[in-house]
A and B are shown apart, each in its own frame.
Chain A
Amino acid sequence: MSTIIIIDSVEEESAVEEILDSIVTAGETVYFLRLSSARGLGPLIQAINPMLNYGVEYTIDCLPENYDASDLAAFAVEVDASRICIGISERTLTGKARIDDATQSILLHDGISGDLVVGEDAIILEELEYGQ
C-alpha cells in the first residue's frame, strides 16, 4: 500500500497528522507531493517526523507549476498509489471542505476512480483504480 499526500500549504500539519494517524499504517510508503504553492516542506516534515513517529517510509516530490490532473494521475500510476489524500485548508460558509481547482481536477479526472471520504482535516481518495 502506498499513499500520496498532496500538500498545497505548509500549514497543513493537522491534515498530515490525521492521515498518518488514522489512514496510513506503519510500513507503508508515503509520497508527499508538494504543489508549487507550498514552499519548502522541511519544517513540516521535521515537525511530523513520519519515520520515527509513524514508521512509514517517505519521499518528497514536487508537481510542476502548471500541472494538470493527468500529471498527478501519471504519478499515482507510477507509484501505484492506493490512496490520494488532500488536506482541507479552508471550509465554505456552510462548513463543507473547500474544493480548489487542483482538487476539482483530480475529483473529475476520468482516469482515477475509487471511494471518496471527507475527514476532519483531509479529503481521502481510496481504493483507487486507474483507467486510461
Chain B
Amino acid sequence: MLRIEFQLGMAGIPSRLLETGEAVESIEIDNAMPVANSAVFLFLTVRTDSEVTEDSLAMELPGLEIIDMSQAEVSSHTYYLGVIADSTDVTVFGLLTENRAIPHRIVGKNSQLEVVASVRDWNHLKEVASAVEEEYGSLELLGTTQTNRIGFPLGSNKIKQSMSGKLSDEQLEVLETAYQMGYFKVPQEVTAEEIAAELDISRSTLSERLRRVQHNFCKLLFGPQE
C-alpha cells in the first residue's frame, strides 16, 4: 500500500470559504458523511487570522447550512464547523472514495488543496491521479511512502482535534518540531538545544512549552489535578 501526498488547485467548499471576506487561512475537512439528496455532512477545522462569527460566515456562504460552530479553547482563531453542503463541494473526497482510495487529510490553504490518501499500488495511483486530473486539470504529486497499515481515514481525527484545540500555536509548533526532528525517538535523534536553535527560542522556553504540552495531555487523560 502506498501513502501519497499531492496538491491541486483549490475547489469546492475550501475555495468558497477562502473567498469570503473572513480572512480564512486554512480549512481542513475532518469528516464527510453523505446524507439525502446528494448532500453531505461536513466537519471542518477553519483557521482564520481574526475573529469570525457564525452569522457572518452564513451570510457569505449562501446555500451552505451551518449546523454547528465552536471555537477552539486555546487557539482563538481556530473554529470547528459542522455544515451540510452539496456533494459537489467536496469533489476531491468523492473522487478518492469512488476510486477506492482512502482519504486521510484534505486541507485547503495558499490557493491549493493538499491531500494525503492511500492507494493499493502503482496502478491504483495512476487510476486515482487520472481521475483527479480529469476533474481538476492537473495535480502535483508531492511525496510517497510505503506502508503496511491502512492508517486513519478522514474522520478518525478526533484525538488530534481534541488535543490541538487545547494547545496554543506555540505549543503545537514546539511539539511538532520536536516530533519531526526525532526528539521522542529512542534513542533521541536530536537534543533539546538543537530544537531550541531550530525554533530560535531559548532552551528554557522550549522546556517550559513542552512541559505545558505534557500537562495538557495529562489533564485531558486524567482530568484536573486534585
Contacts and interface: CB of A to CB of B under 8 A. Distances in A.
A, B assembled together = yes
B38 interface: no
B5 A92 contact: yes
B121 A95 contact: no
A110 B129 CA distance: 12
Contact of A96 (B121, B122, B126, B145): B145
Nearest to A105: B141
Interface string B152-193: 000000000000000000000000000010000000000000
A113 B123 CA distance: 7
Contacts of A96: 3-5, 142-145
B96 interface: no
B122 A99 contact: no
Contact of B142 (A92, A110, A113, A118): A92
A115 interface: yes
A52 interface: no
Contacts of B142: 92, 96, 98-99
Interface string A81-113: 000000000011111111100011001101001
B125 interface: yes
B146 A95 contact: no
B180 A116 contact: no
Interface range, A side: 20 to 34
Contacts of A91: 143
B180 A118 contact: no
A27 interface: no
A20 interface: no
Interface in B167-226: 180
A123 interface: yes
Given A98-B142, A99-B143, A104-B141, A93 B180 contact: yes
A117 interface: yes
B140 interface: yes
B116 interface: yes
A93 B121 CA distance: 22
Contacts of B11: none
Interface string B122-145: 110110011000000000111111
Interface in B71-128: 116, 121-123, 125-126
Interface of A: 91-99, 103-104, 107-108, 110, 113-118, 123, 125
Interface of B: 2-5, 116, 121-123, 125-126, 129-130, 140-146, 180
Ranked nearest first, the 7 interchain pairs of A and B with the lowest CB-CB distance are A96-B143, A116-B122, A92-B143, A118-B146, A99-B141, A96-B145, A104-B141
Given A96-B3, A99-B144, A116-B144, 12 more contacts: A92-B5, A92-B143, A94-B5, A97-B143, A99-B143, A104-B140, A104-B141, A107-B122, A107-B141, A113-B126, A115-B121, A116-B125
